[in-house]
Structure 1
Amino acid sequence: MNGKILCSIVLVLVLAGALAYVTSYAREDVIVNTTDSGGRVVFHDNDSHGTFHLGVASADFKKNAVFSSSFSSIETGTGTSTFTAVWKSSRGNTFGGAKTAVFTLTVWDPAGVPDSTTRESRSVSSGALSVSCSPHGSGEGRFLLTSTIYESRLNFSTPLFT
């Protein structure tokens, strides 16, 4: 009798482990909504620099709404400049919810080299994004501020052993 009980317990544990393994690989992050806003950065041929606020981004979990707004053009020199944006996530993501807000700020120098930062939020919160850029020459670069809501969903149609 004890051997049967032990065997049953082991079998239940193996099945629970197999189910947890399959479930963890069947999850995928799906983009619910995304938006971006960007502009250009003109780097003049001098060593001036500064800190420049580029815009704001937000995500509303309840409405699955995202927002991104930025200036269209910034001018600076080729010295090290810092570019910032603020972000906010609000409303409706339940405790332990499957939604994640992702905010990204990317700045490209005139040579096309990107500098980027990303922040994730699963609750009501806010913060700032900051990117420093030191171009090696003058010219026109660009920036992009992106706000995205992802939702983690089960998808058993994905191959488990790829």
Structure 2
Amino acid sequence: MVKIFPTKFQQSLYLLLVVVLLLAMALHVLVNPIPAQLQYLFFGVLVLSTGIPHGAVDHLVEWQTKALLQTKFSAVRFYIAYLLPMVVYGVAWLIFPTLSLYYFLYLSATHFGETDIPLANQNSHLVRLLQISFGVLMLSTILAFHIPQVTVMLSELQTF
């Protein structure tokens, strides 16, 4: 099993991110709405500092993971496993929009947490709780800046 621990630099970045997000949430509460110029500046800094859009190198991550585990990488299998769930999930959104939203929020929180807090002992309940909590913080931050839009979107969903 490959053990991945965040470096001191990564830990510092995570801490900085959490502090910046909490400050941004406080700013949103105190100065509502946040001026568009400040939002664009914040967005620009994030885009410039993160580089390649999220997900653009997933195939390379999978290839590297397979190499570390000394198993064979198949691009065809990767893309089928990568794209098929998206198609199935897209159809589910059409049939069960509310349930699909809940599932999407759960998956997003889990994914953010696993990606941003890659700890070696993935089977630990405490690690999973930490990862999901971080993911919920990330999602809450995103949604908190768009309450009116979120409210409109939620009101348009069909109840199940």
The two structures have a TM-score, normalised by structure 2, of 0.20
Please state which structure has a larger fraction of its residues in strand: 1
Structure of larger gyration radius = 1
Please state which structure has a larger fraction of its residues in helix: 2
